[in-house]
Amino acid sequence: MKIDDLIKYQDLEYQKFNQKIVQSKKPMIGVRTPIIKLAAKQNNYFESLDFINDLPHKYYEEDQLHSFMIMNIKDYDICIKEVDKFIYYIDNWAVCDSLIPKIFKKNKDDLIHYIDKWINSKQEFVIRFGIKMLMNYYLDDDFKIDYLNKVINIKENDYYVMMMKAWYLAEGLIKKYDDFIKVIESKKLDVRVHNKAIQKAIESYRITEAKKDYLRELKIK
């Protein structure tokens, strides 16, 4: 995989637009995500180890490509190893949030141990990634109050950690309302997390109007 393979798809208008939204510290070429996803499918992980192991990458799109290539790995042991290596180089929410390996869903007993390590990291996007994995894979039949407590007890107050905590809580209000509403009622969260969680839950079509009305009453002014 060479950077020239991506540069030929450069879109300067998209570059300007995406730079403002993503705010990566890395230079951005301006390649649209569907093109990068296609490139990831066309470049087999086992045939691209020089690229995979060349960390940190220079360009934002290289991180995107790396992320999508990892997601295509069907062997859990290899996938988790590569994820655990790569996430420490992520510097933006877009790459962090798009990394959702499907193979994780079949290996949740092992994955939870990695999540414990990630949410106890000191790196903003490693913590965010750990919370997102709890949100993606442990809010249905696998949910435990202990997982909710892990998120509540995260002390890091970086912006993107707090916004992911709010997203997690909003999803919890939708899927496990009786457990998560107690946290909102306690009003012990950071005000920004508290109000953003309520806002995101209210914006969802998956929660009743009665619950939305009650959540509005719980906002901190």
Q: Is there a contact between 53 and 81 (Cβ–Cβ < 8 Å)? A: no
Which portions of the chain are predicted below pLDDT 50?
none
pLDDT for position 2:
67
Establish whether the linkage from the previous residue to 56 is cis, with ω within 30° of 0.
yes
Rounded to whole angstroms, the Cα distance separating 202 from 181 reads: 13
Compute the distance between CA of residue 159 and CA of residue 215 in angstroms, rounded to an integer.
Answer: 23
Separation between Cα atoms, residue 145 and residue 46, nearest integer Å: 39
State the burial class of residue 22 (Cβ atoms within 10 Å of its Cβ: 0-12, 13-18, 19+): middle
60-90 pLDDT tens trace? 999 999 999 999 999 999 999 999 999 999 9
**pLDDT score, position 1:** 58
**According to the model, what pLDDT value does residue 69 have?**
95
Q: Which pLDDT belongs to residue 178? A: 96
Q: Where are the alpha helices (DSSP H) in 1-158?
A: 4-7, 12-22, 33-42, 49-52, 60-71, 76-86, 93-98, 108-119, 124-137, 145-152
Q: Quick one: pLDDT at residue 184?
A: 97
Residue 120: the pLDDT is 95
